[in-house]
Structure 1
């Protein structure tokens, strides 16, 4: 936990120079993955607070100053600023849980307000000197203790009953970590929250309840009525392709009939959301306004408008396309619903949502593959499947974390084989429990790839995309595999779709895109994608950034990036050929990749030893 440091004379706050140095450190860090707009938001909030203008930081002022809204903006009706602040808060948490763990000053956005808070991180108290971009990046790159730059992961259990390697005593701690993005713990979980789950006394929910209300036409045109009618059912069907949502489609008239009203029923659940919308048409265009509301309070949590050209001869196709687009923004693994749920569960974790909280934390971990968070996430998932053995998503995510243990940690060949065998078994169990879930098939495909069964991996990943064609994670997994196997044209198309459909794509989506652009000789596009791919603990983004900078003749930049690659991916730095084989590169792709590294100045360990002799 990050706390303000106290001295003998009381709390000692960072100075303005300390805060400004920290702001520049965050904005210069590849580990801070916020969009350009949210970076501007962070700078604006900090600058205004330091200037003594914190009392002016209201939704309307921020919308006009940062997001370019005009005087007609209504902060009560439009949740733009609340949603962007929520995302920025989560991205800061992720940064301080990964790249920023050693930073001296904590900048945070307290919930319920927009005025940032500044405090010393624990273990710091001296004013922070300014750092250059290169110095900040080098400071981040220092690996934690351990032979491979990662904390030691749990040993692979020999039998299923040995899954509870953390034990119930550690489960509460692991689950506390599981709630916060990036491994940051906001508060300890009360012990009594774990007791019902550990004893099996409280049945666990495997998702969030979402009720899709009937969409309403704004006017009286036939096009509006036709598009609105049945939209809720179509949107509900599209949302079923995303894991972790317990879906209901409310009847058109909730005032009559003997059926249970899903809206009223949802108000007794720990977390439930309502989706409602209106259809408008005019001047040859159709707009659908959609809002996500808290079922208990009716508070608007998110809203957006989707606009399309009106085509009277294709209204059915238009409605289907809009339903798919809206469902993707709401339901994707890093989308709106999971984002607001993560925030709510961080404040209050009901006993029936402990297992789901663990699954949300696993998704947050997969954004950056944080070496520091992996062991806690794995322990949390192992305890979840032991105590809730029919939770398909938890088995799939556990399989993916076991694959990460095999591919990122410095394991002996027999240990790596054992981890991959466990990953395969858990992925297969997930598919058995939920045959129509794309997540289980993604895990099964990943397990096959890292066991060297590339045709099987491709088949499973294609099945996942067939089941969930709007899921960015499924598209990215398939695109990643195809690019590495030398099928660049198709792989690039899938990756472009995944990124285009993502609200906030994880850095690993960009790695294979940068690789394919490099293979095509499109260095400008490759450099941009590689820059985005650097912001995780995979290390591959730094390797491509190194290669492309060298190819463009930027030797100093290439040398700095090579140092970062060595720190983030020591196994890649030792033996690039073996690293490529492990990750499933085709021979031709591997040869081009390794040749690019050599051009950038990389030398294999045997080469370095021979040179030293």
Structure 2
């Protein structure tokens, strides 16, 4: 393998030997050591290490899905050649490598890639592999007037490699605005490396005595929390070193002053006979206020300590860190009307999601567009921006007001893919891609993305809620309803939007009384489609007066939806028989539907 560079006037090429095994091993070590390689721990790191080492050992022909499945992911011998776990993890690894080379790896001399269609790695010299001019006075030297064609081959290679890098950089800069929102003049002048997000530290859970099992359980629970909490990307969680430096009875001033932590999670463990007793509390390190506390009791006769430990960690993480959770509520309460920094935009986004309206959509979209202009590597903001663009398409929010020439759905897909590229492990990014794919009628791909995202962070109820909604709309109404009930039990604070979805799922299963109960609790008066769903539910449940009222509101607020009814239903509801049922119920409720509306 050689890397050719155009040479002299005779059209010859200057060749450079391929990277040596030692140089490749050094590059692999660079990648695995970088925090910007999203797979620096876990499957992606193991996968990459395996294929590189097999290649260097001369066994490239063995790098196939079958052997990777067995030797990397522990699949049983005799598994199928098209094991989906290998394909899924290969895609994740490719995205992780792309992210690395956009960040820490920009100046690395060697690129390692896994081309699509296989798993055998390639190793190429990057532009930055050209050796720099050295010497104390090199910056002050005048340009050499020696003709290019008569210069030594090595010098010609350096010059051309430098030109290559310059052309690549210029092209990248020229193309970059086309794939991301255009920054405003003020935003462009105020670009910061990363946005402000709340910081949480975890004090080692205390061993409250009265049993030999309490101490290892307390250590294990702390470790479990250090694993589950960082999966929420709207939060910065300090690592194990910070946790170990805090006493079991935490010093709030130390956490705030030395670690910069705004919030501190602490607790204790007591095991008596066959009972496990765990306490947990979240504190504001500035005021000392206990924002949340909870007690978890469990029976060791019915469940193991490990199972209890995992369950408690998941429940604590969900309560504290999820959207609409304790930290989000505390930060939202402290917002001022003029607070428009990037993190404040994400809080406003969740407020908008809980009660969608045209007015709040405008404010959130503009805020997020400014946020991604200031912080072009902020995956969460790109994901949220994607979802607000998606709402232009599916809810007709400010559809005509947009000055962008690209269709809203196309902008949503672009922003979602950018979010996933920036951070493949960000569940909000995966959620945005799931939504954009689903509304693009790529239903199977959308649900596959949702399933993958659920494995990344099964405690993220915002993701889980939308996944449950799309499950139902794909035709699996019963399973979708089950997921939505779990979401509402874990996260009642974000209940409006998902109660409406659960109401629709109950309607589709013929449970009209339950559907009516759910839609009354949703109460999304500024959301046009809420009135359409309420109208069909009340019509089938026999609430004629309620159905007529909601039908009139939907006819007024959802005129754009009704004008393209069959197309709009097809974009959301996968099965034709489900769409026909909704149409029939709308007519029963008193909604006037245009006679000729063709499905596109």
Tell me: CA distance 1:396–1:224, structure 2 relative to 1, closer, same or farther (3 Å): same
The Cα shift of 1:389 comes to 0.6
1:323 and 2:310 correspond: no
| Cα distance in structure 2, aligned partners of 1:345 and 1:276 | 26
1:300 and 2:290 correspond: yes
Tell me: CA distance 1:262–1:237, structure 2 relative to 1, closer, same or farther (3 Å): farther
| Cα distance in structure 2, aligned partners of 1:540 and 1:280 | 50
| Cα distance in structure 1, aligned partners of 2:255 and 2:227 | 20
5 Å-filtered alignment, 1:182-261, equals 198-200=189-191, 203-249=193-239, 254=245
The Cα shift of 1:552 comes to 2.8
The Cα shift of 1:546 comes to 1.7
Tell me: CA distance 1:598–1:368, structure 2 relative to 1, closer, same or farther (3 Å): same
Structure 1 residues 227-264: Cα deviation after superposition (integer angstroms, max 9, x where no partner): 222212211211122121111245575379xxxx9983
Tell me: CA distance 1:461–1:313, structure 2 relative to 1, closer, same or farther (3 Å): closer
| Cα distance in structure 2, aligned partners of 1:244 and 1:208 | 8
| Cα distance in structure 1, aligned partners of 2:337 and 2:288 | 18
Residue matched to 1:361 = 348
The Cα shift of 1:305 comes to 2.1
The Cα shift of 1:266 comes to 4.1
5 Å-filtered alignment, 1:83-482, equals 159-160=178-179, 163-164=182-183, 167-168=185-186, 198-200=189-191, 203-249=193-239, 254=245, 264=254, 266-267=256-257, 272-282=262-272, 284-311=274-301, 314-346=304-336, 354-409=341-396, 411=399, 418-482=407-471
The Cα shift of 1:558 comes to 1.2
Unaligned 5+ residue runs, structure 1?
A: 1-156, 172-196, 609-613
What is the root-mean-square deviation in Å for CA atoms of aligned residues?
Answer: 3.1
Q: Which moved more, 1:506-515 or 1:520-529?
A: 506-515
Q: Which SS does the other structure have where 2:237 is aligned?
A: strand
| Cα distance in structure 2, aligned partners of 1:225 and 1:395 | 42
The Cα shift of 1:160 comes to 4.7
Unaligned 5+ residue runs, structure 2?
A: 1-175
Structure 1 residues 438-460: Cα deviation after superposition (integer angstroms, max 9, x where no partner): 11111111111122211211111
- Which runs of structure 1 show a deviation greater than 6 angstroms over 4 or more consecutive aligned residues? 268-271, 412-417
The answer to whether the 8 Å contact 2:208/2:268 transfers is yes
Tell me: CA distance 1:161–1:462, structure 2 relative to 1, closer, same or farther (3 Å): closer
| Cα distance in structure 2, aligned partners of 1:605 and 1:552 | 25
The answer to which structure, 1 or 2, has the higher relative contact order (CA under 8 A, 6+ apart) is 1
Length-normalised TM-score, structure 2:
0.63
Structure 1 residues 282-326: Cα deviation after superposition (integer angstroms, max 9, x where no partner): 575433221111123322222222333333761111100110011
Structure 1 residues 58-87: Cα deviation after superposition (integer angstroms, max 9, x where no partner): xxxxxxxxxxxxxxxxxxxxxxxxxxxxxx
The Cα shift of 1:332 comes to 0.8
Q: Which SS does the other structure have where 1:275 is aligned?
A: strand
Tell me: CA distance 1:336–1:414, structure 2 relative to 1, closer, same or farther (3 Å): closer
The Cα shift of 1:218 comes to 2.8
Q: Which SS does the other structure have where 2:232 is aligned?
A: coil
Bigger-Rg structure (1/2): 2
| Cα distance in structure 1, aligned partners of 2:372 and 2:566 | 36
Q: Which moved more, 1:571-580 or 1:409-418?
A: 409-418
- Length, aligned pairs only: 416
The Cα shift of 1:578 comes to 3.0
Length-normalised TM-score, structure 1:
0.62
| Cα distance in structure 1, aligned partners of 2:331 and 2:436 | 29
The answer to whether the 8 Å contact 1:164/1:382 transfers is yes
The answer to whether the 8 Å contact 2:365/2:388 transfers is yes
Tell me: CA distance 1:503–1:548, structure 2 relative to 1, closer, same or farther (3 Å): closer
1:605 and 2:590 correspond: no
| Cα distance in structure 2, aligned partners of 1:239 and 1:479 | 22
The answer to whether the 8 Å contact 2:291/2:326 transfers is no
